[in-house]
Structure formats: structure tokens, C-alpha cells
A and B are shown apart, each in its own frame.
Chain A
Amino acid sequence: MSLKNLSIFSLSVLLFSVFLVIYLNQENSKKLNRIEQWAKNNQIKVDKSTKAQKFTIDFDEKEWNLLKQKLSLTRFFTSLKDVPSFDFGFDPDYARELVEYWGNKFDWKSQVEYLNSYPQFRISINDTIIHYVYYTTNPTAEKRINILLLDGWPGAFFGFYKAIDFMEKNYKDICFEIVVPSIPGYHFSTPLNKKHNPVETSMQFDALMRYLFGELAHYYIHGEDWGSIIATTMPQLYPSRVSGIHITMPITSESNILNNICSLLLPYVPSLFLSDQELEHEFSSRYSIKSKLWKFWDEFGYFHLQATRPDTVGHGLTDSPVGLMAYILEKYSSWTFERLNKISGSKDGGLEFFNKDDLLTVCTLYWMTNSITSSMRYYANSFNAMLEFRKQNLDFFSLSVSQTVPVGVQMNLNDIFVTPFWFIKSRYLGLIQYKIVEQGGHFAAFQNPELTVKCLVDFITQVEYKI
């Protein structure tokens, strides 16, 4: 090809790419406007008739005795002798050890007192019961920040208690108005007998904030797991109300063509997309398509099952304490330690790192509220909803988050997946903070309350003082 032809060709490719980027951005903006309009039209009314009830957790002696009875009747099975422990899932020998502790030493009554150490409420929004903790730190401080702390599956609201305590003690000049709701279907946000998806959760949590802080309230959101997804959806719906979002699990939409192309290129020209720090931490191999697919295969069996047949697996987990425990705690193991190779061959899957009572409190909470199945149904509901919304041209789950909403990301290296800054920025346009946490796992606030709070407050401070 002649030089002239080559130049014309290259120029046209360049122009086309520029056109494509501008076009996609315009489409994105148009769609975001649609969503914002839809959100206004469908906003949940919060008025004088809406009332929250104070809520205290009962120590239900009858249920506790039933739990202990079932534990005493547990039927176990044997581990395989020729594979390292935890290679086939939760090790049955360690399960036996935990069950013995749970039934004979674990003090649920004390744990209930601990759970009640922060004030809780229940409210009905859109015919859906929502349980939440509402606590104000340092009420006399001048600076007031409203904040939502959101976790996911298989988390629990009290996982934030240590973080709240740290926020109170270490930021005496800030009055944090903290709200920790439980997703409908989880724990005390029950019973839930109808479908429910993250968009509805987002709307209800926003209604809750307006109920507590007024119609024009602004608020920050810290979100982990499903909380990250809800934290991503809320600013799409209410960009004027969300002051900023701080998330540990950014979702970079795979339906973004440019992102996909770059993912393919990444292993070959990593330095084009990754910072030195990310290169050092093997992001190029961990974010490669091959690596992600393998990880998805290895770790997402539960996800696949819950997103298609949650009720089938729900029977065993509702009726068997050890079943519930093994299924849930395996996540606390593989989502906190997998990368550190602390699991394969280890007697406890790394779980001795956590406080045993804390872990069993998570399990007992799911047990006592009989909410494991409704918590798993969230997955199936979300996928069905995603398809429905797409049909209505409301692509929540693949649209970006507007530039006007500041975003902070806490990237925990021992989490299941990592996402490089460059790819996060392509969806979270207002990304202003990105911190890599070397010792961090999936359950950020539960495992590392102080570090998580520091990241979060650093982010909030950055946003507050830039304005």
C-alpha cells in the first residue's frame, strides 16, 4: 500500500475510533438521564405515616435449645485422605471441631447482648421490612456526615460494629450519622415472601435515608459485596443526593466493548494499562481473561447454584446447622486467604485468624432469623431483574457512574478478583481515590475495621474539602 493510502486508512481508523468513543459516551449519558428520570418518577414516598419501630434482638431460648439439639445430632462424613484439606470445600474434620464448640462452648446469650449494643430499628418501606442500625458518633462535633454502610452475602450488619467504634474514637471532630441496613431477606429484614432485586433495594435504602435525614439529604455510601453493587446503582438513580461512594468490589461492566478489547490486550502490553504498584502485585495475570475464567470456575459454583436454584440448596442449609456453617464459613476462608495459599492443606482453612465467636455469630444470626434461603434468592432475583430491566432499556448494571459522583476504591489483594485502576475509571468516571490493601480480603470491615475506616474517611475528607 502506498504511503498516501496508508495515511488515509490510519486517519479514518482514528476518526472512527474517536467517533465511536463520543457516540458511546453520548449513549451512556442519554441512558443515565433516562434512569435518573425513571428514578424520579418511581421515587418511594416517605411521609408522616411512615414509622420506624425500635428493635431489640431477643435471646430466644427455645430456638437456641433446638439449635443445640440439632447440633448434638449432627451426622458427619469423612475427609479424603489423599487430598489436602479444604481442596474439596469445607473440611469435614474442622467442621466437626467447630460444631462441638458451637454446641458446647459458644455463648449466644452474650453475643445477643453484643449485637444489641448499637440501637436498631425496623421500618416498612414499600411493604418491605427493613431492619437497620442507626447510630450517631460524637453528636456535638460540628462536621456532620450521613453515611450508609452496606455489606452483602454472606455478611451481617454487626460486621461493621468494630468499624463504627473506631470511627467514633478516632474522628472526634466528625459527627457520623451511620445507618447500617440489612438487605431485604437478610437477617432481621425478614420475612420477605416476594421477589426483590438490587434496584429495589437501592430505592428503599434511599427512602430510608430521606426518612431519617429529610428529603434533601445528602449521604455517602460504603459498600462491600452486594453493597458495592447497590452503592453503584444508587448514584445512577440519585446523582444529586449521593455525595460519594466508597467500594471494595467495583464491577467493570463486561458488556463495555472497549473494556473487553483492552482486557484482551492487557497480558501483552501490561505497562500500558497498569501502574507500577499494580504490576508488582501481578494484576496483569490476575486480571487476564484466562485467569478470571479459571477463578470463576473454581470459586463461583455457589453463585451459579444460588442464581438458578436457591430453594434446592436452601432446604439443607435451613434445616442443618453444620450445613449452614460449612457453606458460609467456606467463603470466610477462601475469600480472605486463598491467594496467600493459606488454605490448601491447612487444618482450619485460615479461619483461626478470625475470632471464633464472631464467625459463629454470623452463622447463628442466619440460623436464628431463618434467612439463609431468602438471602440466596437475592442472586436469582437479581439476574431475572437484570434481564427485565435490559428489555426496558434501563441498563443499570452496565452503565457507568456519572463523573459528578466521587468514587473511592479499596482494592483488597486477597479478595477473589482484583480490578486495575484504569478499568475501574472507565466505568466509575469520578474515581478519585484508589488504595491497594495488601493484607485485605473480601470482608473488608469485618477483617480490617481500622484500615477500612481509614480508607473510607480519607476518601470522604478528600471529597469534603475539595468542594
Chain B
Amino acid sequence: MSLKNLSIFSLSVLLFSVFIVIYLNQENSKKLKRIGQWAKDNQIKVDTSTKAQKFTIDFDEKEWNLLKQKLSLTRFFTSLKDVPSFDFGFDPDYARELVEYWGNKFDWKSQVEYLNSYPQFRISINDTLIHYVYYTTNPTAAKRINILLLDGWPGAFFGFYKAIDFMEKNYKDICFDIVVPSIPGFGYSNPLEKVVDPFDTTLIFDALARFVFGENSQYFVHGEDWGSLISTFLAKLYPERIGGIHITMPPLTSFFDFNSLLYAFAGQFFPNSILTEQEIKFGFKFSLSELASLIIKKTGYFHIQATKPDSIGAGMSDSPFGLLAYVLEKYSFGSFGMNVVGKKDGGLEKFNRDDLLTIITYYWMTNCISSSMRLYRNAFYTLEKGWPRTVLNMKKISAKVPVGVQVFQHEVSFVPFKVLKNKYLNLSMYNLVENGGHFSNFENPEKISNNFIEFINLAL
């Protein structure tokens, strides 16, 4: 090809690429406007007729005795002698130990008192029962900040209690108005007999925030696990009202776009090109093989919950031993990564045993394990309804909303800073934290509180 032809060709390719980028950005802005309009039009009405009921958790003696009876009838099985502990999942010998403690030493009555230490309410929004904690720290402080604390699966609302306590004691000059809702189908946000997916939950949580904080009040959101996804949706739908979102697990849906795939491809052969120095130091990887490994090795539970939750729900609803192993396996691998293989306790002795059993007993007493697992299926089930749920695919969040990301070293999935920058246009904070895992509120209440508040101050 002659030099002249080559220059014209290159120039036209360049112009075309520039055109594509501008076009896609315009499309993105148009879509954001559309979604903003849709969000306004479909906002759930909250008016004077909407009422919340005070709620206290009962110590249900009958249910507690049934639980103990079932525990005493537990049928066990033996571990494999020639594989390391936890290699095939939760170790049955350790489960046995925990079951014996649970049935004989664990004091559920005291735990119920602890769970009731913060004021709780229930409200019906869109015919969906929502349980939430509502607490105001340092009510006389001059600075007022509204916050929503969102957890995921298999978390629990009281996982945030230590964080709330820390915020109250260490930030005496701020009055935090704190709302901790439970996702429909989780815990006391039950019974739930219809399909409610994360998107529906987003609309409901925003309505709750408007009910508690006021129709036009601004609020900040901290989200973990599903909470990270819901936070991202909130920022897309209500950018004017969301002061900022602080998340620990940026959604991997950002993987399913061409941009992220390119990064994963680059990360396969030139890992240093797509990761920051700190990310490399932490041992994070983002490559095609890493993603494949994640999908194959770690997401069996996700796969079955997203397709046939009721088939597995039957056993977990009926067997405390089954529920314990299934849920605590997440607290093991999720907190410490694959390092738990070979450890007799899967690393769980690091946590307070009563704290762990309180989470399990809470899932047991509310009989919510099945409805909580259905959230995964719901998320896929409603996708066929198309827009606006396909907002999942939208790459960017408006630059109006600041985003803070705090990722702990053993977090389950990882998205590099360079990819996040493309998605969260106003990424104001990005911190990596050593020695922590997926259940941040449970394991590191102080670190997430400090980081969250720093993020808020930066945004204000």
C-alpha cells in the first residue's frame, strides 16, 4: 500500500474510533437520563398513610427447644482420610464439634437480648414486609448525616452493630441517622411469597430512606456483597439524592463488558500493565484464567442458588447441621480464602463462636434460608423483563455520585482500579486493606467505619 493510502486509512480508523467512543458515551448519557426519568416516574410513593411498627425479637422457647431436639438427633458422616480438611467443603468433624456446642452451651436467650439492643421496626412497602434497624448516634451533634448500611448473603443486619457502636463512640461530633434494612426474604423481612429481585429491593430501600429521612433528603450508602450491587443501582437511579456510595465488593457484572474482557486478556499476559503496584503487592490477579478459576472453583453455591434454590432449600430449612455447614463454609473461605484448606477449623476459631452461631440461629429462627437463597434465582428470573433491569449492563455511573471502594485482601472477587475508573466516573477513594475478608462488617467494623466516614467527609 502506498504511504498516501496508508495515511488516509489510519486517519479514517482513528476518526472512526473517536466517533465510536463519543457515540458510546452519548448513548450512555442518554441511557442514564432515561433511567433517571424512569426512576422518578416509578418512584414508590411514601405518604402519611405509610406506617412503621416497632419490632422486638422474641425469644421463642418452643422453636429453641425444637432446634435443640433436632440437634440432638443429628446424623453425621465421616471425613475422607486422604484429603486435607476443608478441601471438599465444610469439614464434618468440625461441624460435629460446633453442633455439640450449639446444642449444649450456646445461650440463644442472651443473644436475643443483644439483637434487641438497637431499635427495630417493620414496614410494608409495595406489599413487601421490610425489617430495619433505625438508630441515631449522638443526637445533639451539629453535623447530621443520613446513612444506609446494606449487607448481603449470608450476612445479617446485626453484623453492623459493632460498627454502629464504634461510630457513636468515636465520632461524637457527628449525628448519624442510621438505617439497616434486611433484604426482602432475609431474616425478619419475611414472609415473602413473591419474586423480589435486587432491582426491586433498590426501589424499596430508597422508599424506606425517604420515609425515614424525608422526601428530598440526601443519604450515603455503605454496601457489602449484594449491598454493593444495590448501592450501585441506587447511584444510577437517584444520583441527586445519593450523597455517595461506599462499597467493598464492586460488582463483577463489570466483567461482562468488552472493556473488562480486554483488561482480563491483557492481565493474562501482561499482569503488571493492568494492576497498580499496591494491587500487585496484595497478590490480586485479574486475568482470563483467574476469572475462569473463580467461576469454576468458587461459585458452585451461586450456580445452584441461581437455578434451583428450592431443591437445596429443603435440607437447609430442616437440618440445623446442614444450615450451619452451608453458611459457615462461606465465613471460612470468604474470610480467609483458599488458605483454609488443611485447617481443622477452616480458620473459624479466629471468630467468636457465639457470634457465628448467632448468625446461624438467626437464619434458623426466621426460617429464611430458602427465601434468602431465592434472591439469586430472582436476579436472573426477572432479567427477561429487560429494561430497566438491563441497567446492569450499563457501564458508567454518573459523575455526580462519588464512589468509594474499600477492598479487603481475601475478598471473594476482585476488579482492578483501572477497570473501576471506567465505570465509576467519580471514584474518589480506592483503598486496599490487609488481613480482612468478605464479611467486613463482621470482621472489621472499625476499619469500615473509619473508611466510610472518611469517604463521606471527602464527598461533602
Q: Which residues of A does B touch, CB under 8 Å?
A: 66, 69-70, 73-83, 87-92, 95, 191, 193-195, 297-302, 304-327, 330, 370, 373-374, 377, 380
Contacts and interface: CB of A to CB of B under 8 A. Distances in A.
Contacts of B324: 315
B296 interface: yes
B47 interface: no
B92 to A, nearest CB: 6
A315 B325 contact: yes
B123 interface: no
A80 B195 contact: yes
A73 B88 contact: no
14 contacts: A69-B73, A78-B193, A79-B310, A81-B194, A301-B303, A301-B308, A302-B308, A309-B329, A312-B326, A319-B75, A321-B318, A323-B316, A326-B310, A326-B315
A66 B72 CA distance: 12
Interface string B297-309: 1111101111111
A320 B324 CA distance: 13
Given A195-B80, A309-B329, A299 B194 contact: no
A370 B77 contact: yes
Nearest to B318: A320
Interface stretch (B231-239, B351-359, B367-375): B367-375
6 closest Cβ pairs, A-B complex:
A323-B315, A316-B322, A312-B89, A301-B304, A316-B315, A89-B308
Given A81-B194, A311-B91, A324 B307 contact: no
A326 B76 CA distance: 19
B329 A89 contact: no
Contact of B70 (A73, A83, A299): A73
A301 B305 contact: yes
B308 A88 contact: yes
Interface in B71-89: 73-83, 88-89
Interface of B: 66, 69-70, 73-83, 88-92, 95, 191, 193-195, 296-301, 303-319, 321-326, 329, 367, 370-371, 374, 377, 381
A320 B80 CA distance: 21
A75 B73 contact: no
A233 B57 CA distance: 58
Given A82-B195, A311-B91, A316-B325, A327 B315 contact: yes
Contacts of A319: 74-76, 315, 319, 321-322
A161 B301 CA distance: 35
Contact of A193 (B78, B299, B309, B312): B78
Contacts of B75: 66, 318-319, 370
Contacts of B371: 77
Nearest to B74: A319
B73 A309 contact: no
Contacts of B322: 315-320, 323
Given A89-B309, A297-B307, A75 B89 contact: no
Contacts of B316: 316, 323
B309 A88 contact: yes
Contacts of B74: 319
A79 B454 CA distance: 44
Nearest to A317: B315
A302 B371 CA distance: 18
B304 A312 contact: no
Contact of A77 (B70, B89, B313, B326): B313
